[in-house]
């Protein structure tokens, strides 16, 4: 387990080898086994790891040792002690990456689906950063040693364009544009269902799900988030859409589309892998199942990125091809 849950409080009087985490159970929390509850609440937790921690006395409920089967109740205080993980430095790895553009200040990379952006707990190798370090010995050092050059991220299973800073000056310029929301980002996605309007705006605040801290949800006290969409093609039970971000929240597009009843096709986290979506059955359900077999992830691609170049000050824009797995789904649904 990693000591990084969303609504938890770290103990400020920790030793150099361990961290503690405090979770206060919400007032409306229903009865649930402690091991299951913590698996959903703590980042990088598995039920097996949680059970071992509880049995070792590293988890206290209201300052008492309990069993994994303990039923969590509202307002209980759960204290968890963690061995502090060791974070190694990111190492260069000879991993092929597609670079669309590069100069002395920045580069544009087309990240494939399945690649994590930067090393983190459980993923210290095989990431985009590992590949970038091998490709270029010059990346900005504004972030930690595990995130050199990284100005923004894409989800592991979202493909598409990213801008990477090679100098600290370029990093600051680009980060400022992201902060001011002047970066142009355009995505394409295949979504379930037929949207009622050809274009529209989804505006809903996002935050960590209170039921599962590993997920993002629409919450009243979350961060403001706005997504614009335009329907490019409509099919029997799917739509091909273009999306623009006004804000850049974690999982924003995926959660917003699921919120309005049109989850991204193939998305395992937010309801996109059900071949009986919307009550479909018979031939439609069979066709949906065949199409789902063509893609193992959410059908979402960051197609375009535009910004003001930090040195030339010229508006710069890059575009990319739709990846093969999404092309296969579109070809199949067009038949």
What is the torsional sign of CA 193, 269, 88, 4? positive
Average pLDDT in the 49-57 region?
91
Task: For 225-236, write each residue's pLDDT tens digit.
Answer: 999 999 999 999
Instruction: Specify the 3-state DSSP secondary structure of 251.
Output: coil
The pLDDT score that the predictor gives to residue 1 is 59
What are the b/e assignments for 36-71, b being 16+ CB within 10 Å?
Answer: ebbbbbbbbbeeebbbebbeeebbbbeeeebebebe
Please give the mean pLDDT across all residues of the chain. 90
Task: For 248-291, write each residue's pLDDT tens digit.
Answer: 899 999 999 999 999 999 999 999 999 888 888 899 999 999 99
pTM: 0.77
As annotated, the active-site residues are 155
The pLDDT score that the predictor gives to residue 123 is 74
Q: How many CB atoms neighbour CB 328 within 10 A?
A: 14
Could you tell me which residue, 140 or 85, shows the higher pLDDT? 140
Where do the domains of the chain lie, and which CATH numbers do they carry?
Answer: 8-83 (3.10.290.10), 98-180 (3.30.2350.10), 186-301 (3.30.2350.10)
Residue 89 clears pLDDT 90, i.e. is over it:
no
The pLDDT score that the predictor gives to residue 110 is 98
Residue 13 clears pLDDT 90, i.e. is over it:
no
């Amino acid at each position: 387990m990693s000591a990084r849950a969303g609504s938890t409080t770290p103990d400020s009087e920790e030793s150099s080898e361990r961290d503690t985490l405090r979770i206060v159970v919400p007032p409306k929390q229903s009865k649930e086994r402690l091991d299951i509850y913590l698996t959903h609440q703590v980042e990088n937790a598995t039920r097996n790891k949680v059970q071992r921690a509880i049995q070792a006395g590293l988890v206290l409920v209201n300052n008492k040792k309990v069993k994994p089967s303990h039923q969590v109740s509202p307002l209980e205080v759960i204290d968890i002690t963690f061995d502090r993980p060791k974070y190694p430095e990111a190492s260069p790895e000879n991993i092929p990456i597609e670079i669309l553009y590069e100069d002395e200040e920045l580069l544009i990379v087309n990240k494939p689906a399945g690649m994590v952006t930067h090393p983190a707990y459980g993923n210290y190798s095989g990431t985009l950063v590992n590949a970038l370090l091998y490709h270029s010995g010059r990346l900005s050092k504004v972030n930690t040693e595990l995130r050199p050059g990284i100005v923004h991220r894409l989800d592991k299973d979202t493909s598409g364009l990213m801008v990477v800073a090679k100098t600290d000056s370029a990093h600051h310029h680009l980060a400022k544009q992201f902060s001011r929301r002047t970066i142009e980002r355009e995505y394409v996605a295949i979504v379930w269902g037929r949207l009622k309007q050809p274009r529209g705006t989804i505006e809903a605040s996002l935050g960590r799900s209170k039921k599962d801290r590993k997920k993002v949800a629409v919450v009243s006290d979350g961060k403001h988030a706005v997504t614009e969409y335009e329907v490019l093609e409509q099919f029997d039970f799917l739509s091909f859409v273009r999306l623009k971000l006004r804000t850049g929240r974690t999982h924003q597009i995926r959660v917003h589309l699921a919120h309005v009843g049109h989850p991204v096709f193939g998305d395992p986290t937010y309801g996109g892998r059900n071949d009986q979506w919307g009550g479909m059955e018979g031939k439609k359900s069979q066709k949906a199942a065949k199409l789902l077999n063509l893609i193992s992830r959410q059908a979402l691609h960051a197609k375009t990125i535009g910004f003001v170049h930090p040195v030339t000050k010229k508006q710069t824009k890059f575009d990319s091809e739709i990846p093969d797995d999404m092309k296969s789904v579109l070809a199949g649904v067009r038949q």
